[in-house]
Structure 1
Amino acid sequence: MPTATTALRAAIHRALTTDSGLVAALGGARVYDEPPRDAAFPYVTLGEARISDVSADDGPTQEHQLTLHAWSRQGGHKEAHVITGALLQALDDAALSPAGHRLVNLRFAIADIRREADGRTYHASVRFRAVTEPAN
């Protein structure tokens, strides 16, 4: 059985690559764990994860803080905001099914959108909080 984090990341990747709003904003299903060297902009990467044990008496429960990164060049700040909005629509309170685990909830936490040092790339960091339990 995959770990809760691995299963959750796979479920998020599936949800994002099949979400019509996000796919339209990206111009294709450009969602990567590790982007190809020549990845076309815009695209989204699955980023950092922080996992905490928040178990109670009734069994093991994990809290996941997951960061997604959106990268934009052509549409600048506006495009980064549109992609961020599409990520929120696709994932906030989504009913995902991570293999071997039950998703208790998935909620948007915070987003940060800024221009990178190169002056032409916009980077949105979008963080979600999820809680998982083992499937029974």
Structure 2
Amino acid sequence: MSALNLAADALIMQQTLHAALANDLAVTATLGDPIRAFDDTPDDPVYPYLTYGQIRSEDTSGDAAPQSTHQMTLHLWSRYAGRAEVFDLLRMVSDTIRDSVPHTVLPLYTDVFRAPDGRTFHGLLRLSVTLTLETTA
């Protein structure tokens, strides 16, 4: 039985992703400084912005080391005329996370569609992030 705390690991994973995004110049040039990345969307948000969505965590430990894997959805929101800004945000966020997060990160899928309000484009980026705990012998 591993001694993982999946909730604590999920929080670490989200904080690590947030720090990587907040410290990237391209991201802050687009999403502001401090970045507009929210757990709970403000009543009157400034576009574009990012929201943290569903997180699913599981213990994927093996014989070698304790490990947890987290699937997380990032939501990107834009009111730019057309999908171009959302695609650019998806690329930028994906590149930043891939290059800056010290964990195994696999993009699972992206999706871009018009939100129900008819004015906003909504991009989804679903990630799988694996955290492996270092063990000492």
Q: Using structure 2 for the length normalisation, give the TM-score.
A: 0.84
1:1-136 correspondence to structure 2 within 5 Å: 3-28=8-33, 29-92=35-98, 94-96=100-102, 103=103, 105-136=104-135
Where does the alignment leave 5 or more consecutive residues of structure 1 unmatched?
A: 97-102
> Moved runs in structure 1, 4+ residues, more than 3 A?
93-96
Where does the alignment leave 5 or more consecutive residues of structure 2 unmatched?
A: none
Secondary structure class of the residue paired with 1:36: coil
| Separation in structure 1 between the aligned mates of residue 131 and residue 66 of structure 2, nearest angstrom | 9
Structure with greater Cα Rg:
2
Q: Aligned-pair distance for 1:37?
A: 1.5
| Separation in structure 2 between the aligned mates of residue 74 and residue 40 of structure 1, nearest angstrom | 12
AA matched with 1:8 = M
Give the number of equivalent residue pairs: 129
Q: Using structure 1 for the length normalisation, give the TM-score.
A: 0.84
